[in-house]
Amino acid sequence: MGELICIFDADQCPNKDFFRTMIPRMNLSDDVALVLSPQKFNNVDPWCDIFNHYNIHFWHYIMSSLCSFDTIFCTGTNFLLRARALAEVDWFPTKSITEDFELGIYLTIKNWKYEYIYEYLVVGDAPQSIR
């Protein structure tokens, strides 16, 4: 399998099943570069999410659909990344504020595959006001 890199935003905390769930999906094939799970927030009620932090349409429908076409958006947190794949695309892009999205494009160009797990394995804190 080689070395794996795990990426979290500073406000995200994995649950005890994160690695037990994610690593087997990485092991499905040597051409899987990235395994990703959605974001969840402990300080936002999904039924009162006026700022759309949960972004359910994106995580549930869009990401699941993209995965069926062997692609997903790298969203910058809650993922495992194969070090060999990252080295092949010359590491993390640094000339864009959407480096996560750009990384996903470079991985796709190099024919790397993705796995998406629609399971909340990480919890974080979301901004609660516009300020």
Q: What is the CATH number for 26?
A: 3.90.550.10
Q: Which has the higher per-residue pLDDT, 5 or 40? A: 5
Q: What is the dihedral of CA 65, 115, 58, 78, to 10 degrees?
A: 180
Structural domain containing residue 63:
4-124
- The count of domains in the chain is 1
Residue 67 forms part of a structural domain = yes
pTM: 0.86
Residue 130 forms part of a structural domain = no
pLDDT digits (tens, 9 = 90+) for 61-101: 888 888 778 778 888 899 999 999 999 999 999 998 999 99
Residue 129 forms part of a structural domain = no
Residue 131 forms part of a structural domain = no
Does 1 have pLDDT greater than 70?
A: no
